[in-house]
Amino acid sequence: MDLQVKTGTWQNLKNNVAVIFAAQGNNDSLVYFPATDFKDAESLALVKNAGFSAALNEVLRVPVEGQWILLVGLGKRADVSEDCFRQAAGTAAKALRTGPSKSISFPVVEVRGVSQEQCAQALVEGALLSTYRYEVYKKPAENLKTQLKAITLLVEQANKQTQAKRGLEKGRVIADAVQLTRDLINGPSNLVNPTYLAKQAEAMAKTNKLKVQVLSFDELKKKGFGGLVGVSQGSAHPAKFIVMDYKPVKAKSTLVLCGKGVTFDTGGISLKPALKMELMKYDMSGAAAVFGTLKAVSELKLPHRVVGVIAATENMPSGTAQKPGDIIKTLSGKTVEVLNTDAEGRLILADCLHYAKRFEADAVIDLATLTGACIVALGSQSIALMSTNDKLANQLVAAGERTQERMWRLPLWEAYGKQMESDIADLRNISGTGEAGTITAAKFLEAFTEGLTWAHLDIASTAWTQQDKPYSPKGAVGIGVRLLVSLIEQWKK
Ligand code: BES
Ligand code: ZN
Ligand code: ZN
């Protein structure tokens, strides 16, 4: 993909589809960006006759001066945000699938609350992410193939080039990272198994200069990773515990990101129903987001140490699998009565969170497709956030608003913890009542976070989309990467 910033207008570009944005102003008027390029009477009449209202993601093709203009709506002018540009750019890039042109240009604009740098970043993210496809096993049909070969960002004044270029570069790095995350999630479990994830980490050790350590199944047994061993012992694919360390020379803070990496969740002996079980390849979306975030953070050379801690395993039923009623001893020393082998994510995260204590981090954040209850409670619009630290929680909520990877905080009141007490072990892995499943899962995790500044993100409802969205085609969303990169970029101790 050829990405560049140019000063000037689309008229000078060859074989290009020029995007012009339109927003809804006062009294049904339309506001065009850039304002100067699009005001001949003929075009304006055409827009009016087509009934184009500039609603967000509305598209109209207009022939102007022998070229095609793509008019894309941003919605109400007063509500235009970074995400409107991300969506509109995604919609525009997809519109290029039909038609002969392979290059597209966007105006970089500055509107209330959105700088030229932010606009440029959002445009590149939107255009690149919208045309993503998982292409490992099948090349897309000709009519679905993206025609996009080049993106030109147009700035009006030469002195805005630096800002736009910075945004473009950031957008490119972040889109690449999200695409890696999506590929890992969309990859079927017969390809993406724990060993595959370990190899991915080792590859990133070279290309991204991360320090990587992988613990084998034997080492996990020896060192007492009882949560991860218990879950993985039924599988023919050995578990891997993966640590990736990005450590800049003068790190201002340390953040640890823990990811649930269940490459396939059958439920184990507490077997899941067959219907839609194939979706459980996405049960490693937390781990995949950690991979993407480390890739982006290291390429952007952010000034904080970021450590990724991933427990990678399958959850399978077999003659060697753990059984309901088994009691395991986790890395922390705490014992757990495993009453349902399908509540496996919390068992492996217990070991990750305990392991994270050694980094004396300023924050530890775990990401996991942890509970079906999260889908019931919040649906595909929101991540569930739970945290024992208000400052960290608020920083996450703010990053969620900025990136539109939004979240809603649920309480961790003491009373919810009662449901996770066992008569014969320190904890049980499912609640006694079946109520508030997302919260009780987090209460279980909390038991392994003494001394940590900790937040838990349940991404079960947001990591996978059943429908195409402006910049997320059906399948893996890659949720968490843009969120965490933005959090770390603006991180304050
Ligand atoms: N991976 C699932 C949670 C999940 C379900 C994620 C659907 C995405 C979509 C998790 O391991 C699980 O099975 N949780 C159980 C917990 C229950 C046994 C307490 C659940 O949510 O049903
Ligand atoms: Zn499960
Ligand atoms: Zn699971």
pLDDT in tens, 314-326: 999 999 999 999 9
Q: Which atom of ligand 1 is nearest to the CA of 283?
A: 1
Statement: residue 67 has pLDDT above 90: no
- Respond yes or no: is residue 357 known to be catalytic: no
Cα separation, 11 vs 152, in Å, equals 12
DSSP, collapsed to helix, strand or coil, labels residue 385 as strand
- Whose CA is closest to atom 17 on ligand 1? 343
Q: Which one, of 109, 179, 104, 175, lies nearest residue 146 by Cα? A: 104
3-state secondary structure 96-107: CCCCCCCEEEEE
DSSP state letter for 468: -
Beta bridge partners of 152: 4, 105
Tens of pLDDT along 278-291?
999 999 999 999 99
441 Cα nearest atom in ligand 1: 19
Mean of pLDDT values over 17-32: 93
Please tell me the residue having the least CA distance from ligand 1 atom 8: 460
Q: Which atom of ligand 1 is nearest to the CA of 437?
A: 19
Residue 315 to residue 281: CA distance in whole angstroms: 11
Is 66's pLDDT higher than 80? no
Catalytic site residue from 102, 247, 272, 406:
272
Closest-CA residue, ligand 1 atom 7, reads 372
Q: Is the CB of 437 under 6 A from ligand 1?
A: yes
What residues contact residue 4 under an 8 Å CB cut-off, 6+ apart?
150, 151, 152, 153, 168
Q: What is the mean pLDDT of residues 77-82?
A: 96
Average pLDDT score, the chain: 96
Task: Tell me the pLDDT tens digit for each residue of 177-235.
Answer: 999 999 999 999 999 999 999 999 999 999 998 999 999 999 999 999 999 999 999 99
Per-residue confidence (pLDDT) for residue 320, from 0 to 100: 98
Distance from residue 283's CA to the centre of ligand 3 (Å): 5
pLDDT digits (tens, 9 = 90+) for 141-169: 766 556 789 999 999 999 999 999 999 99
| Annotated catalytic residue 346 | yes
Testing ligand 1's pocket by substitution, the residue of 270, 277, 342 carrying the most ligand atoms inside 8 A of its CB is: 342
Letter string b/e over residues 99-110, b meaning 16 or more CB atoms within 10 A of that residue's CB = eebebbbbbbbb
pLDDT at 77: 96
Cβ of 430 closer than 6 Å to ligand 1, yes or no, is yes
Atom of ligand 1 nearest to the CA of 434: 19
Q: Region 58-62: what's the mean pLDDT?
A: 94
Number of Cβ atoms within 10 Å of the Cβ of 150: 16
Ligand 1 contact, 324 CB (< 6 A): no
Spacing, Cα 98 to ligand 1 middle (Å): 40
Please give the pLDDT value at position 143: 62
**Which pLDDT belongs to residue 15?**
87
Q: What pLDDT shows up at residue 84?
A: 98
- Nearest ligand (C-alpha, residue 369): 1
Q: How far apart are CA 388 and CA 386, in angstroms?
A: 7
- Identify the pLDDT of residue 407: 98
CA of 387 to the centre of ligand 2 (A): 22
Distances (CA, A) of 332 to 151, 231, 416, 439, 450: 51, 16, 22, 21, 10
Q: What is the pLDDT of residues 446-473, one digit of tens each?
A: 999 999 999 999 999 999 999 999 999 9
- pLDDT given for residue 100 in this prediction: 75
Closest CA to 294 of 210, 360, 168: 210
pTM of the model: 0.98
**In this predicted structure, what is the pLDDT of residue 387?**
99
* C-beta 449 within 6 A of ligand 1: no
Place 63 in a pLDDT band, splitting at 50, 70 and 90: confident
